[in-house]
C-alpha cells in the first residue's frame, strides 16, 4: 500500500491511522517512516506534528523546515506554500501529519492544494488521528483503525 504505484492512482494517496490516545499511532508512523525500504522508495520524507489548535502557517513552516533543514523566517502562508511546492514538485514524497484533530475542511484547503499540485505518482500522506471523521474530511483513501488491527493481532508493517 505505502510502497506501491498503482497505475490507477492519480495524485496523492492519503492513508490514515486512527485510534484512541496512547494506542501507538505515532509509534507505528515512526516505524514506517524510519523503515529502510521506505527510505529507499521516497525521494523526500517529511514529518509535521499538527496537534490542536490547527495552525496552517505553523504546519506549513514545519514541513518547509523539514525539507530545507533551516528556518527561513517566512510568515505569509502563500510564500511558505510556494517554497514547499518548489522543494517537492516532481519528487515522490512521504509526508506524515501526526496528531491531527481539526474537522474544519476549510483549514485544509491551501495545504492540500499545494501538496496535490506538487505530488509525483507514488507520493503519500500518512495521517495519525483519534477521529475517523478527520480521515474522511482530509480525503483519506485508506484507513487503518488501530484498535481493530490490535484486536486481530496485525503487525505494524501491515500499513505497507
Task: Give the separation between CA 55 and CA 107, rounded to whole angstroms.
Answer: 8
CATH number of 13-153: 3.40.50.300
pLDDT, tens digit (0-9, with 9 covering 90-100), for 99-112: 998 888 888 888 88
**What is the CB-side half-sphere exposure of residue 131 using CA atoms within 13 A?**
13
97 in the Ramachandran plot: left (φ > 0), alpha (ψ -120 to 50) or beta?
A: beta
Higher-pLDDT residue of 95 and 5 is: 95
Residue 124's φ and ψ, nearest 5 degrees, are -135, 150
Please report which confidence band the pLDDT of residue 154 belongs to, taking 50, 70 and 90 as the band edges.
very low
Q: Is the pLDDT of residue 63 over 90?
A: yes
Identify the pLDDT of residue 152.
47
pTM of the model: 0.84
pLDDT, tens digit (0-9, with 9 covering 90-100), for 11-27: 788 999 999 998 899 99
Task: Give the separation between CA 110 and CA 60, rounded to whole angstroms.
Answer: 10
Q: Is the pLDDT of residue 138 over 50?
A: yes
Amino acid at each position: 500500500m505505502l510502497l506501491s504505484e498503482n497505475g490507477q492512482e492519480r495524485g496523492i494517496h492519503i492513508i490514515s491511522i486512527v485510534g484512541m490516545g496512547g494506542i501507538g499511532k505515532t509509534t507505528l508512523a515512526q516505524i514506517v517512516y524510519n523503515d529502510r525500504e521506505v527510505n529507499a522508495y521516497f525521494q523526500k520524507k517529511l514529518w509535521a506534528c499538527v496537534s490542536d489548535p490547527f495552525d496552517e502557517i505553523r504546519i506549513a513552516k514545519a514541513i518547509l523546515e523539514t525539507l530545507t533543514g533551516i528556518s527561513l523566517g517566512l510568515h505569509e502562508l502563500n510564500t511558505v506554500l510556494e517554497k514547499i511546492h518548489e522543494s517537492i514538485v516532481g519528487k515522490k514524497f512521504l509526508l506524515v501529519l501526526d496528531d491531527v484533530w481539526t474537522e474544519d475542511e476549510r483549514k485544509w484547503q491551501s495545504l492540500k492544494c499545494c501538496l496535490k499540485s506538487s505530488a509525483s505518482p507514488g507520493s503519500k500522506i500518512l495521517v495519525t488521528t483519534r477521529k475517523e471523521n478527520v480521515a474522511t474530511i482530509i480525503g483519506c483513501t485508506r484507513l487503518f483503525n488501530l484498535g481493530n488491527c490490535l484486536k486481530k493481532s496485525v503487525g505494524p508493517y501491515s500499513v505497507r
